[in-house]
Amino acid sequence: MTPIADIAVVGGSGFYEFLEDAEEVKVDTPFGAPSDPVAVGEVGGKRVAFLPRHGRDHRFPPHKIPYRANMWALRSLGVRRIVAPTAVGSLTPSYGPGTLVVPDQLVDRTRNRVQTFFDEGACHVPFADPYCPALRAHEIATARETGWVPAGSGTLVVIEGPRFSTRAESLWFAAQGWTLVGMTGHPEAVLARELAMCYAPLALVTDTDAGVEEGEGVTQAEVFEVFAANTKRLRDLVAKVVASLPPDRDDDDLCAHALDGISFKLPGG
């Protein structure tokens, strides 16, 4: 099959549209339908797929997103690199609302999510560095070129949701040295790795978590308000990241070789 798109953008809360003059592609997967039909269009001369992880009407809460179907659908269209803008809370006062962070680590605190395609056999993909180093570096460099100076590291702890954290949970997360909290970064990242796709988030801080500052705690309205105020800037940055990506991955790309030496069988394979 000729690849339909090599690059994908997976949009988070408030990031429901990206491409103009896009063609919608419906994809069947062994795991059901993805969150939405995949939109395919062009950015900077590159064929790009776009998928809002919550659905364009935000009908999927974080614990109900069809993560496996989403990643499988993108991979089946030819996607090998994924840029993932996402809304996150901050666990440190130094990352206030509006801060852009390109995290380098992830902690999984989810409970009930299927986080693998490998339901049979011993198939253990390397995940010490959960995000593609090359794609992260490209995102950071591109953001700096646009004048949006990102935090180039950080640990994202992913909670089950859909509720926000208690103050005690926030204080505990921060005490571990973790800097960001979100609800959708896992299992998305590891599923991408299991399909040998490069994956890197662009995390926009929308709030300080409940244990960081005194007050009423995080509200959904606050998250959506801050994200909406930065949506155009973030969309423009994502477009620049995509347009300036090199045509192909490097031969020594970590993610491309994630399955080397592993004996496995994927559904339908």
Collect all residues with Cβ–Cβ distance below 8 Å to 225 and sequence separation of at least 6.
Answer: none
Kindly name the residue from 36, 108, 207, 253 that is annotated as catalytic.
207
Rounded to 5°, the CA angle 119-56-170 comes to 70
CA atoms of 197 and 258, how far apart (whole Å):
9
Task: Find the distance separating the first CA and the last CA of the chain, reported in whole Å.
Answer: 15
**CA nearest to 128, candidates 162, 105, 144, 160:** 105
**209 carries an active-site annotation:** yes
CA atoms of 90 and 74, how far apart (whole Å):
29
**6 carries an active-site annotation:** no
Kindly name the residue from 209, 248, 250, 260 that is annotated as catalytic.
209
β-bridge pairing 198-208 and 81-90: parallel
26 half-sphere exposure, CB direction, 13 A CA radius: 2
Bridge partners of 49?
A: 8, 40
**CA nearest to 258, candidates 69, 127, 72:** 127
- Greatest extent of the chain over all pairs of C-alpha atoms, in Å: 55
E-assigned strands of the chain?
7-11, 23-25, 38-43, 46-52, 81-90, 100-101, 105-109, 155-159, 180-182, 198-208
Q: Which residues are catalytic?
A: 207, 209
